[in-house]
């Protein structure tokens, strides 16, 4: 099934594990065959499964398919289900080994169709062989686990849609019936199902609306109710599962993706009522995500991106009040860019926990935040020069002072340049926001 040369390049321990597991499958297969004699084995648990070989008689000698002689008085082995259980477990382990090879090849951008598909097909074969035997024994927990593994495997096949992975996971839930039957397996399947539904919803959104994040202006791109529902249903199912699991971070992530969807959709509705409805949903989901990320230490880059999106949405609505709210979003960036947040990130890096690229991500976002902040204040000055001109001068002075400090390199590792501007605006604009 697998090229020897490709396998021997893997770590020796994995290679040895695979050899032992393959040898075990042969032993279990032979043991199962030895229990099949005197007619077909009654596999009533799965009538679709092909029947085992019949025992043959040569004169007065009864033999199995391996040619082993058997007494005509021998009865069916009472351990047949135990053997099938062990055989299914080993098949599952082999499938996981081949799955790890598929994942490794794809992570290394080794997308050669030959080797990758050989490992993929080998993994699929052993997963299905394990599934067949677990169906016979009626082991619902292992059936669910195999279907979970098949759903993960299916995501690495470009020719297979994500809907196929969703179907596998939904069948896993169906076989378990309810969480109380096996809470651990149920939660594993639920986590994977929620993640897959979210990815499917995002892909459908990008397929229907394109990859951008700005509101759609062309009325010709207006979605039909069915197209909109195909995106929303996936994300709302994912949201429901994450809430049931108590996964607050992923719940916030789904709210954010729904916010991005409605943010693009609200400008191309057929009437004012639906426009307001979609805009309201966009703000609602942004606020839900905001409540989590504002206090989540380590997720500051994601929080900054969310605030940038929310600020841009307020700006798109127009009006002085909305511009002030957009500026208020920028004020929420004060803590993420603070020296305390940077020191906390440096400590996490020393401990080897958290996102090691945290500082690089924040530095990438820094000029975007700076330009947005000054641009919003400049727009407010156009609405009311007397009210906002002083604030604009404070922001420019702070930007100049931060640049001078940054050029001396004395504060380079202590704070972000934009923090000085945010701090100055927050101190002088709190009564205006």
Average pLDDT for the chain: 83
Cβ atoms of 390 and 398 closer than 8 Å: no
pLDDT in tens, 375-413: 999 999 998 888 888 999 998 998 888 777 655 554 445
pLDDT in tens, 176-222: 999 999 999 999 999 999 999 999 999 999 888 876 666 655 554 67
- What pLDDT does 349 receive? 86
Q: Which residue has the tokens 């803590």?
A: 335
* DSSP category for residue 56: E
* Number of helical H runs and strand E runs in the chain: 16, 3
Closest CA to 83 of 136, 134, 28, 129: 28
- Write the CB contacts of 76 (distance below 8 Å, at least 6 apart in sequence): 35, 37, 38, 41
- What pLDDT does 42 receive? 47
pLDDT in tens, 58-80: 444 444 444 444 443 334 455 78
Q: What percentage of residues in the chain have a pLDDT greater than 70?
A: 80
Cβ atoms of 322 and 281 closer than 8 Å: no
pTM > 0.85:
no
């Amino acid at each position: 099934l697998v090229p020897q040369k490709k396998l021997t390049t893997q770590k020796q321990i994995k290679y040895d594990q695979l050899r032992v597991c393959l040898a075990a499958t042969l032993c279990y297969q032979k043991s199962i065959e030895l229990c099949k004699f005197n007619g077909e084995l009654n596999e009533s648990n799965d009538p679709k499964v092909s029947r085992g070989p019949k025992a043959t008689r040569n004169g007065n000698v009864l033999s199995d398919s391996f040619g082993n002689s058997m007494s005509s008085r021998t009865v069916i082995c009472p351990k047949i289900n135990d053997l099938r259980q062990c055989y299914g477990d080993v098949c599952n382990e082999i499938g996981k080994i081949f799955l790890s090879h598929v994942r490794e090849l794809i992570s290394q951008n080794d997308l050669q169709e030959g080797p990758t598909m050989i490992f993929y097909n080998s993994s699929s074969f052993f997963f299905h062989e394990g599934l067949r035997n677990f169906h016979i024994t009626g082991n619902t927990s292992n059936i669910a686990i195999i279907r979970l593994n098949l759903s993960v495997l299916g995501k690495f096949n470009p020719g297979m849609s994500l809907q196929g992975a969703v179907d596998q996971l939904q069948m896993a839930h169906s076989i378990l019936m309810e969480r109380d039957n096996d809470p651990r397996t149920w939660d594993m399947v639920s986590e994977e199902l929620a993640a897959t539904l979210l990815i499917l919803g995002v892909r459908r959104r990008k397929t229907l609306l394109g990859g951008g994040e700005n509101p759609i202006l062309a009325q010709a791109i207006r979605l039909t109710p069915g197209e909109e529902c195909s995106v929303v249903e996936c994300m709302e199912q994912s949201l429901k599962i994450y809430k049931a699991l108590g996964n607050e971070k992923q719940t916030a992530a789904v709210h954010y993706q729904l916010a991005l969807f409605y943010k693009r959709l609200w400008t191309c509705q057929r009437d004012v009522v639906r426009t307001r409805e979609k805009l309201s949903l966009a703000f609602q989901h942004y606020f839900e995500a905001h409540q989590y990320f504002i206090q989540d230490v380590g997720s500051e880059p994601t929080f900054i991106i969310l605030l940038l999106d929310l600020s841009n949405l307020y700006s798109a609505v127009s009006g002085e009040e909305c511009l002030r709210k957009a500026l208020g979003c920028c004020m929420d960036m004060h803590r993420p860019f603070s020296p305390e947040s940077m020191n906390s990130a440096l400590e996490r890096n020393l401990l080897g926990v958290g996102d090691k690229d945290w500082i690089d991500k924040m530095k990438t976002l820094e000029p975007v935040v700076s330009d947005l902040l000054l641009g919003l204040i400049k727009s407010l000055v156009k609405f009311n020069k007397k009210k906002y001109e002083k604030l604009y001068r404070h922001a420019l002075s702070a930007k100049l002072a931060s640049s001078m400090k940054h050029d001396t390199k004395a504060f380079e590792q202590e704070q972000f340049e934009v923090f000085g501007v945010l701090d100055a605006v927050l101190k002088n604009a709190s009564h205006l926001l």
